[in-house]
Amino acid sequence: MCFRYFAQYLVFASLLLLVQPLFQQLQLFGGVQMEGMDLKVRNSLIATLLGLVTGSVTGLVGVGGGTIMVPGMTILMGFAQKTAQGTALLASIAPSIVSATTYIASGNFVPSLLFGILPGVSVGSLVGANIAVRSQDGFLRLFCASVLLLSGLRSLLSTKRPVQTAEEVDDNEILKPSKKVPEEGFLTSSRCKLHYKYLNQGIKGKNPLVLLHMAPRSMDEFKEFIDEMAKNRDWKRPVILFDLPGYGTSDRLKDIPMKRLSDEILTGLRSLGIRSKVDIFGHLLGAHVAMSMASRKPKRVRKLALADPIYLTAETREMVADWAKSAPKPQVDENGAFLGDIWNKRSQFVPPDLNYRCVMDELRAADTEDSSSFSVSKTPIEDILPKVKAPSLVLWSLGVVGLFDSFGWKIGENRALVETGLPKADVIEIADANIDGLCTQTSAYSDPVFAYLES
């Protein structure tokens, strides 16, 4: 808002500079002395006021001398254009140093750029000053007024939109037209490198579907789901898959708060230039990330599909955190027996090719496997659910519920808290589905998910 006001001032000051000779003829401002006040006293008061305003604006927006002191000295004090410019340049040294010191102390500067900027500014100032002292006042006044006018109009035209909240600004950034991006690659944010796949980019008129995997899997968990999707032409839509931070081939990060996980995915969507609201399908950890995204940016999410979004109370969150700390980790040995231990965990439940994929994901996430437990156990779901506005489909894999209940986590007992805490939640139970059910009983998930998204 302050930049818009400053732009309005620039336009106003430029117009005053253009008609300044008329003021002198009519004895306005600088041509009239205040009754009972010496001219030097009056000019000193005006100069003090100009200095105060100039210093404040210099610190706020980085400019001030030429834009405030020059119009003020020529219009209010009656000085010639050259005299005003020379005095303003000299007077700007002190506020520039003071303001720059404050910015430098807070780390808001780039030292390496000074090596290129300082020589250029020095040479340009010398050339400009020599041209100015050889020019007529009328020309200088017209040139100065033109610069102020163009700067003000440019700023006004670029700030036409109303004042927005941070969330609205972020939303508008996402709504910028997107260009086609590579189907697979890495997105680099300020925190980590995020592996993504962006499929079916050419399909228009449908909301993109974001797929978020469980731990310790990767986006590979949705391989069968994507295959099922390809079989049904009505289901085709843009699909974005991510390896969550710490998993797959995304950067290894440990003990990641849920807020940060969801922010990484939101940043990834922004980097991909997603134009519309998205639908999100998440499994276990992915379901919690999806709910966090929907609670933090409700305008970005159209519908949620949540597979096993387990509800942990304060008591069970502590149990999960203790379990994650005490869970045995694979011990690397010379004969590779630890690989057999990892293989045997699932071998009786899944076919060998799927077991191989699961083992590879687990090995990649070996140093961050318990991070999901940290993220979920440190995030009160009761704080997230009330902020979720998107309608939701909740899918309970009864085998998973039974497994976690055997740990004493009371998932079956507390699942109603998820169902009632979410707005407009539809609930489906998938009998006998185990933790890898998304790969082994894919249609039991894909059919209701796409029926819900298409409804």
Length of the chain: 455
**C-beta of residue 277 within 8 angstroms of C-beta of residue 300:** yes
Order of strands across the sheet with 301-307?
A: 184-188, 193-199, 239-242, 209-212, 278-283, 301-307, 392-397, 425-430
Q: Report pLDDT for 422.
A: 93
Q: What is the pTM of this model?
A: 0.63
Q: Report pLDDT for 168.
A: 41
Exposure string (b/e) for 246-276, b if CB count within 10 Å is 16 or more? bbbebbbbeebebeebbbbbbbbbbebbbee
Q: How far apart are the first and last CA of the chain?
A: 43
CA pair distance 7, 13, nearest whole angstrom: 10
From first to last of the 455 residues of the chain, give the pLDDT tens digit: 556 777 777 787 778 777 766 655 545 554 444 444 455 666 677 777 767 776 676 666 556 566 777 777 777 777 777 787 777 777 777 777 777 777 676 666 666 666 777 788 788 878 877 887 788 877 877 887 787 788 778 777 764 444 333 344 444 443 343 467 899 999 976 578 899 999 999 888 889 999 999 988 999 999 999 999 999 878 889 999 999 988 999 987 766 788 888 989 998 998 898 878 999 999 999 999 999 999 999 999 999 999 999 998 888 888 887 776 776 666 777 777 878 888 888 787 788 999 999 999 988 887 665 556 666 767 788 889 999 999 999 999 999 999 999 989 899 999 999 999 998 899 999 998 899 999 999 999 999 999 999 98
Q: Report pLDDT for 39.
A: 59
Q: What are phi and psi of 184, to 5 degrees?
A: -140, 145
Q: Report pLDDT for 318.
A: 83
